[in-house]
C-alpha cells in the first residue's frame, strides 16, 4: 500500500484525470516520465513539422529553381541578358545601394543618439523608428503618391521646378528607404544599449575626439551587428514589391525593378523568363540566409558578458 501513497497524494493535483498506477509504479522505480515524449510521438511530431515546412517553404523554393532551368540553360541566359531584364537588374542594384547607404548612416546616427544618451521620450522614438515595419507596403507607396503625385500635396512646387518623383527613380528610392527604414537601426540600438557607455567615456576622458571615439571604439564593437542589419536591409530593398509597384509606374527599361519585371513577365505568360529573374532573387535570399547564420555566431561574440 505504501507504494501507492504518492499516487493518492498526486490525485487532487491532477484534476484532468488520475495518473495511472503503472506510471506511478514506474515513477517509484526511477523511470518517472522524463522531460520528453514517447519515441513514437516524437517521430510523429517531427514528421508533421517537417512535412509542413517542406510543403510551405521547401517546395516553393525548389520550384523557383526547377522552373527557371526547365527550358534549358540557353533560355535562362537569354532571359537574363534581355535588355529589359538587365535594366531592371541595374535599377534594383542602384536603388538598393542608395537605400542601404541611407539606412546605414541613419542607423548609426540614430543608435548613437539613442544608445549613448539618456533622454525623455526614448521609447517613443524607438517605436516611431520601428513604425514602417507595421505599415502595409501598399500604404507606404500610397503616402508618397499623396505627397508627390500629380494630385499630391506638393504637386504645385514640384511642377514649378520640374522635379519628377513619382513614376521615377526618387520615388522608388524613397519608398524603398521607407520600408527598410528600421532594419539597420533595430540591429544596432539594442546591442549598443547593452554595451553601455563606459568604453566611450574612457576614450573621451583620455582625450579622443567624438569622431575618433566613434570610429575606433564604437564601430568596431558593433561591426557584425551592422553587417547583419545591412544584409537584411539589402535583401528587403532588392525584393520590395508592393511599395515600389505603387510609385514606379512600371515603365519597362526605366522604372522597372527586378520584382516588377518578374510580375510583368509572369502576367505575359513568359513563365520561364519570369522564374529565371526570380531565381536570381531567390539566390540572393539563400545567400542572405547563409551569411545571416554565419553572422549570428559572430554576433554572439559582440554581446557583452
Partner 1 sequence: MATATASRLTFRKPSVIPGFGLTFGLTLTWLCLIVLLPLSALFLKTSELSFDRLLVIMSNARTLHALQISFGLSLAAAAINLVFGGLVVWVLVRYDFPFKRVVDAIIDIPFALPTAVAGIALTTLYAENGWIGSLLAPLGIQVSFTPLGILVALVFIGLPFVVRTVQPVLADLDAELEDAAASLGATRGQTIWRVVLPSIWPALLTGFAMAFARAVGEYGSVIFIAGNLPGVSEIAPLLIVIRLEEFRYADATAIASVMLLASFVLLFIINRLQHWAESRGGRER
φ/ψ (deg, to 5) at 303:
-60, 130
Only one residue has cell 514649378, namely 160
HSE toward the beta carbon, residue 110, CA cutoff 13 A: 25
Q: Residue 155 CB, nearest distance to partner 1 (Å)?
A: 12
> What does each C-alpha distance from 305 to 47, 263, 302 come to in angstroms?
38, 48, 9
Q: What letter does residue 167 receive in the DSSP assignment?
A: T
Only one residue has cell 523511470, namely 31
Q: Residue 169 CB, nearest distance to partner 1 (Å)?
A: 16
Q: In this complex, which beta carbon is closest to partner 1, that of residue 224 or of residue 279? A: 279
Q: Residue 223 CB, nearest distance to partner 1 (Å)?
A: 19
Q: Where in 28-87 is the site for partner 1 (CB under 8 A)?
A: 32-37, 42, 45-46, 48-50, 52-53, 55-61, 63-64, 67
Q: Is 105 exposed, middle or buried (0-12, 13-18, 19+ CB in 10 A)?
A: exposed
Residue 238 binds partner 1 (CB under 8 A): yes
HSE toward the beta carbon, residue 127, CA cutoff 13 A: 4
Q: In this complex, which beta carbon is closest to partner 1, that of residue 3 or of residue 109? A: 109
Residue 104 binds partner 1 (CB under 8 A): no
Residue 24 binds partner 1 (CB under 8 A): yes
Q: Where in 110-169 is the site for partner 1 (CB under 8 A)?
A: 110, 112-114, 116-121, 125, 127-129, 131-132, 134-139, 142-147, 151-153
Residue window 242-281: x/- pattern of binding to partner 1, with contact defined by CB under 8 A: x--xx-----------xxx-xx--x----x--xx--x--x
Stretch of 71-79, 83-91, 157-165, 239-247 contacting partner 1, by CB under 8 A: 239-247
Residue 300 binds partner 1 (CB under 8 A): no
Among 97, 204, 295, 299, binds partner 1 (CB under 8 A): 204
| CA gap 7, 128 in Å, rounded | 56
Q: Residue 297 CB, nearest distance to partner 1 (Å)?
A: 11
Q: Residue 65 CB, nearest distance to partner 1 (Å)?
A: 10
Stretch of 74-82, 109-117, 156-164, 221-229 contacting partner 1, by CB under 8 A: 109-117
Q: In this complex, which beta carbon is closest to partner 1, that of residue 60 or of residue 72? A: 60
| Long-range contacts, stretch 195-204, CB < 8 angstroms, 24+ apart | 195/115, 195/221, 195/222, 195/302, 195/304, 196/304, 197/116, 200/116
Question: Nearest CA to 286 among 235, 238, 218, 248?
Answer: 235
Residue pair 259/58 in contact by the 8 Å Cβ criterion: no
| CA gap 204, 217 in Å, rounded | 10
Q: In this complex, which beta carbon is closest to partner 1, that of residue 208 or of residue 254? A: 208
Q: Is 9 exposed, middle or buried (0-12, 13-18, 19+ CB in 10 A)?
A: exposed
Q: In this complex, which beta carbon is closest to partner 1, that of residue 129 or of residue 224? A: 129
Q: Residue 81 CB, nearest distance to partner 1 (Å)?
A: 20
Q: In this complex, which beta carbon is closest to partner 1, that of residue 136 or of residue 159? A: 136
Residue 200 binds partner 1 (CB under 8 A): yes
Q: Residue 112 CB, nearest distance to partner 1 (Å)?
A: 5
Amino acid at each position: 500500500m505504501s507504494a501507492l501513497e504518492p499516487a493518492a497524494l498526486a490525485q487532487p493535483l491532477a484534476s484532468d484525470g488520475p495518473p495511472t498506477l503503472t506510471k506511478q509504479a514506474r515513477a517509484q522505480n526511477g523511470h518517472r516520465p522524463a522531460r520528453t515524449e514517447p519515441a513514437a510521438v516524437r517521430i510523429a511530431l517531427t514528421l508533421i513539422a517537417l512535412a509542413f515546412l517542406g510543403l510551405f517553404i521547401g517546395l516553393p523554393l525548389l520550384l523557383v529553381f526547377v522552373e527557371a532551368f526547365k527550358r534549358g540553360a540557353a533560355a535562362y541566359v537569354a532571359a537574363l541578358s534581355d535588355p529589359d531584364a538587365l535594366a531592371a537588374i541595374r535599377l534594383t542594384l542602384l536603388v538598393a545601394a542608395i537605400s542601404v547607404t541611407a539606412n546605414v548612416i541613419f542607423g548609426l546616427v540614430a543608435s548613437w543618439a539613442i544608445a549613448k544618451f539618456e533622454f525623455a521620450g526614448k521609447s517613443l522614438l524607438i517605436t516611431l523608428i520601428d513604425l514602417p515595419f507595421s505599415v502595409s507596403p501598399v500604404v507606404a507607396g500610397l503616402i508618397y503618391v499623396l505627397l508627390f503625385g500629380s494630385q499630391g500635396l506638393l504637386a504645385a512646387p514640384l511642377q514649378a521646378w520640374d522635379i519628377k518623383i513619382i513614376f521615377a527613380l526618387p520615388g522608388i528610392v524613397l519608398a524603398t528607404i521607407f520600408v527598410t527604414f528600421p532594419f539597420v537601426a533595430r540591429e544596432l540600438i539594442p546591442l549598443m544599449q547593452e554595451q553601455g557607455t563606459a568604453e566611450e567615456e574612457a576614450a573621451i576622458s583620455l582625450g579622443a575626439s567624438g569622431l575618433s571615439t566613434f570610429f575606433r571604439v564604437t564601430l568596431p564593437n558593433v561591426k557584425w551587428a551592422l553587417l547583419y542589419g545591412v544584409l537584411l536591409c539589402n535583401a528587403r530593398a532588392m525584393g520590395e514589391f508592393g511599395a515600389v509597384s505603387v510609385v514606379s509606374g512600371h515603365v519597362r527599361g526605366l522604372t522597372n525593378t527586378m520584382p516588377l519585371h518578374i510580375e510583368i513577365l509572369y502576367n505575359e505568360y513568359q513563365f520561364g523568363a519570369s522564374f529565371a529573374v526570380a531565381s536570381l532573387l531567390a539566390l540572393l535570399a539563400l545567400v542572405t540566409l547563409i551569411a545571416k547564420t554565419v553572422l549570428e555566431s559572430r554576433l554572439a561574440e559582440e554581446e557583452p558578458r
